[in-house]
């Protein structure tokens, strides 16, 4: 019952009603009109009850110094104003009691609205989770609750509908709006074999999907949990401020008592009103929530306020290469024929026809590239594969070998200087190579390379503009790492590192006093993500282990979000420090003015709440500010 009254009185409608009665009290005060009961009593009851409720519940449930809260100090100030209002020529103190309670209620509503706005992204995520799906069973379609959908079920998703589960497309082609999960602004084309995420929107074609993840395992639910965890974790600054607030309350009481004994009760009451550390207590949580809320809008999930604060102190960012600076998928980059009688496309046809039977990723990449080029794959006879070396087969009557130099030499295929020079050139460029021979003669080479993200170089430049150093930590061959690092403008490269080696390099940098952020996407990056001051996992939900190990998750493959994250973190830390400094200065000045009788309880309440309102408004501006 008491809690229901608290909720009722804390609402906007009741607060506005209290404000009407407070205005009536002010009119009576200004016109010096006598009235049997001061209307401010209504304001005190409506706005004062929630304060008193919070003060008492915190005394009962909190531990140690946290029992002493700002609500307790304001409640004491309110009762002091009421008590002093019965003294001669102090009737305005009743208005002051109502004003203190009313302004605190308005401040609480502003804080709640700011936090709600910051949580808007998570609410949208929760609302996006579909409740039903079209299950296909025995050739029939039926609408079922998502609770009854299990892994392996077949669901049909029509154009315009939200995809109800994580799954793999079995039939149909479409484009999917994945912005809520990955942050991508444009719909992504999807076809058979592609993965789709729960909560994303099927824009065009009808598709049938096989359920791969349901319930709490789905991408959307993971995303929701990450954001909810962030809301429950306090930043170090917030914990420090909470302790300060607990100590400031008894200090305020002591100063008020001394002032009362040396001067009068009005000054003592004013000190109680202005000393409340509300703005100080609001400085960190409102800024953190606003920053986390803004980041969620752009597909960046910050797990805790502490991670955001640490990111603001990062001065060196370490990147993994594969899947981070690059797309992580090998593709054919060069096709070179050595025999003038055999054009490049003919050589590619011979290689692709043979590799079409291979299960090796390089072979599949060559076959796929040939199909994209419109090269017709021919029948291959007598196919053989030697693991770790290469393959062979007969295409159009020619004995074709595809593999490394050792494999060709073992089969009596000689490599002249032009072949060796090409191998060396492609190796220096960090590319994988497949040599192709026909009837005992090396006829060409196919080079494959991981493709660099087009925005990688610009991203590195932007990070340098924020005075942040960039290093590359990769398990790749040194020459490959150097080649890609040069492409994006990274000068500090550490290659051929096992997971433990990445951890050691991060520890070495930390011993030099550096604050390190590690960016990675795979299981092998998890130890480094944990060791770094801040770990950022990227990729379309990435590796589950990497996501769990990281402090921050990028829900898409857009590494352009990293400079944005750095700018947002820097701005948040600066804003928190500014808000704390501003609130402390306002409190100090207000106390001095109260002791000098330049403020009374009425004006003191206004001055005190200026700090709280400014802190909340600053946080609201942070939520809408542009950092992209």
Asked if residue 355 lies in contact with residue 366, where contact means CB atoms within 8 angstroms, the answer is: yes
Domain end marker among 532, 562, 592 = 562
Task: Give the sheet arrangement for strand 201-202, strand by strand.
Answer: 188-190, 174-177, 201-202
Percent of the chain whose pLDDT exceeds 90: 11
pLDDT tens sequence across 1-18: 777 777 777 788 888 898
pLDDT digits 0-9 by tens, 112-135: 665 565 455 455 555 666 778 899
Among all chains, which residue has been given the structure tokens 């004006």?
Answer: 603
Q: Is 439 a catalytic residue?
A: no
**pLDDT over 50 (residue 401):** yes
Q: Is 145 helix (H, G, I), strand (E, B) or coil?
A: strand
**Considering the entire predicted model, what is its pTM?**
0.61
User: Does the structure show a pLDDT above 70 at 626?
Assistant: no
Secondary structure class of 322 (helix, strand, coil) = helix
For residues 580-603, average pLDDT = 84
Three-class SS string for 429-441?
Answer: CCCEEEEEEECCE
543-574 pLDDT, tens per residue?
Answer: 455 556 677 888 766 788 889 889 898 888 88
pLDDT digits (tens, 9 = 90+) for 30-83: 787 878 888 888 888 888 888 888 778 877 877 765 666 667 767 777 787 787
CATH of residue 553's domain is 3.40.50.1000
Mean pLDDT for 131-156 is 87
If one counts the domains in the chain, the total is: 3
Query: What percent of the chain lies above the pLDDT cut of 70?
Result: 83
Q: Which of residues 562, 577, 597 is at a domain's end? A: 562
- Residue 154: inside a domain: yes
My answer on whether 333 and 375 are in the same domain is: yes
Nearest to 554 by CA among 459, 458, 421, 428: 459
Whether residue 571 lies inside any domain: the answer is no
Average pLDDT over residues 388-396: 85
Sheet of strand 432-438: strand arrangement: 326-337, 441-452, 432-438, 398-403, 390-395, 380-386
Q: Which two tokens stand for residue 327?
A: 């797309």
Q: Count of residues for the chain? A: 628
Instruction: Quote the pLDDT of residue 547.
Output: 58
- Tell me the per-residue pLDDT of 83-107, one tens digit each, with 9 for 90 and over: 777 776 666 778 877 877 887 787 6
Q: Which two tokens stand for residue 58?
A: 């915190």
Q: Calculate the dihedral angle through the C-alpha atoms of 600, 602, 604, 608, rounding to the nearest 10 degrees.
A: 170
CB 325 within 8 A of CB 459: no
* Residue 494 shares a structural domain with residue 537: yes
Q: What is the reported pLDDT for 389?
A: 74
Residues contacting residue 20 through CB under 8 Å, at least 6 positions apart: none
Q: What is the pLDDT of residue 128?
A: 61
Read off the pLDDT of residues 423-453 as tens digits, 9 standing for 90 and up. Answer: 888 887 778 889 999 988 999 999 988 778 8
Average pLDDT across the chain, whole number: 80
Query: From CA 107, how far away is CA 612, in angstroms rounded?
Result: 7
Instruction: Tell me the C-alpha distance between 227 and 244, whole Å.
Output: 28
Could you tell me the pLDDT band of residue 209, with boundaries at 50, 70 and 90?
A: very high
pLDDT at 184: 45
Both 463 and 428 in a single domain? Answer: no
Residue 345 is part of which domain span? 328-451
Burial class of residue 195, CB neighbours in 10 A (0-12, 13-18, 19+)? middle
Rounded to whole angstroms, the Cα distance separating 456 from 323 reads 12
Q: Which of 38, 153, 166, 320 is catalytic?
A: 320
Same domain flag for 441 and 332: yes
Query: Residue 409 pLDDT > 50, yes or no?
Result: yes
Asked whether the beta carbons of 484 and 324 are under 8 A apart, the reply is no
Select from 422, 451, 480 the last residue of a domain: 451
Q: 162 pLDDT exceeds 80?
A: yes
504-517, pLDDT tens digit by residue? 898 899 899 899 99
Q: Where would I find the beta strands (DSSP E) of 138-244?
A: 140-145, 154-157, 166-171, 174-177, 188-190, 195-196, 201-202, 207-213
């Amino acid at each position: 019952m008491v809690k229901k009254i608290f909720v009722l009185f804390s609402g906007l409608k009741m607060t506005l009603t209290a404000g009407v009665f407070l205005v009536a009290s002010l009119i009576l005060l200004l016109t010096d009109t006598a009235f049997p009961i001061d209307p401010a009593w209504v304001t005190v009851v409506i706005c004062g009850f929630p304060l008193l409720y919070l003060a008492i519940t915190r005394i009962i449930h909190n531990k140690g110094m946290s029992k002493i809260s700002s609500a307790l100090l304001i409640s004491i100030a309110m009762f002091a104003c009421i008590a002093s209002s019965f003294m001669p020529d102090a009737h305005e103190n009743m208005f002051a009691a109502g004003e203190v309670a009313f302004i605190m209620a308005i401040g609480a509503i502003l804080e709640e609205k700011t936090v709600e706005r910051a949580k808007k992204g998570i609410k949208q995520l929760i609302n996006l989770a579909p409740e039903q799906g079209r299950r296909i069973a025995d050739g029939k379609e039926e609408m079922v609750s998502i609770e009854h959908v299990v892994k392996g079920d077949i669901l049909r998703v029509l154009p315009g509908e939200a995809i109800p589960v994580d799954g793999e497309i079995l039939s149909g082609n479409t484009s999917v709006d994945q912005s809520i999960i990955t942050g991508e602004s444009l719909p992504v084309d999807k076809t058979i074999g592609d993965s789709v995420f729960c909560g994303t929107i099927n824009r065009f074609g009808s598709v049938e999907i096989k359920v791969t993840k349901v319930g709490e395992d789905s991408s959307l639910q993971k995303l929701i949990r990450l954001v909810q965890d962030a809301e429950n974790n306090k930043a170090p600054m917030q914990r420090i401020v909470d302790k300060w607030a607990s100590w400031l309350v008894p200090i305020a009481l002591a100063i008020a008592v001394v002032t009362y004994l040396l001067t009068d009760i009005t000054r003592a009451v004013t000190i109680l009103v202005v000393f409340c550390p509300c703005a100080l207590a609001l400085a960190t949580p409102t800024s953190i929530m606003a920053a986390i809320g803004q980041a969620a809008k752009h597909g960046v999930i910050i797990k805790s306020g502490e991670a955001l604060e640490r990111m603001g102190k990062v001065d060196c960012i370490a990147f993994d290469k594969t899947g981070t600076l690059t797309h992580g998928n090998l593709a054919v980059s060069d096709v070179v024929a050595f025999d003038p009688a055999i054009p490049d496309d003919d050589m590619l046809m011979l290689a692709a026809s043979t590799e079409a039977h291979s299960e090796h990723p390089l072979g599949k990449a060559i076959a796929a590239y040939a199909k994209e080029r419109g090269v017709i794959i021919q029948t291959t006879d007598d196919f053989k594969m030697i693991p770790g070396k290469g393959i062979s087969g007969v295409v159009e009557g020619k004995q074709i070998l595809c593999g490394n130099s050792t494999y060709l030499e073992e089969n009596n295929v000689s490599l002249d200087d032009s072949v060796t020079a090409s191998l060396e050139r492609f190796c220096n460029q960090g590319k994988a190579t497949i040599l192709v021979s026909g009837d005992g003669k090396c006829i060409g080479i196919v080079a494959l390379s991981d493709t660099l993200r087009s925005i990688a170089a610009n991203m590195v430049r932007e990070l340098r503009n924020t005075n942040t150093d960039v290093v590359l930590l990769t398990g790749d061959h040194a020459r490959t790492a150097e080649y890609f690092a040069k492409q994006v403008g990274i000068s500090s490269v550490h290659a051929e590192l096992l997971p433990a080696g990445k951890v050691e390099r991060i520890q070495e940098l930390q011993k030099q006093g550096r604050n390190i952020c590690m960016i990675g996407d795979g299981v092998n990056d998890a130890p480094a993500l944990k060791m770094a001051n801040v770990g950022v996992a990227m990729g379309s939900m990435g590796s589950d282990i990497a996501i769990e190990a990281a402090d921050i998750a990028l829900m898409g493959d857009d590494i352009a979000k990293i400079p944005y994250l750095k700018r947002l973190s820097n701005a948040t830390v600066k804003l928190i420090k500014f808000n704390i400094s501003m609130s402390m200065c306002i409190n100090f000045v207000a106390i001095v003015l109260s002791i000098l009788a330049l403020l009374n309880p009425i004006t003191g309440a206004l001055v005190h709440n200026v700090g709280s309102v400014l802190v909340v408004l600053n946080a609201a501006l942070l939520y809408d500010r542009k950092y992209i």
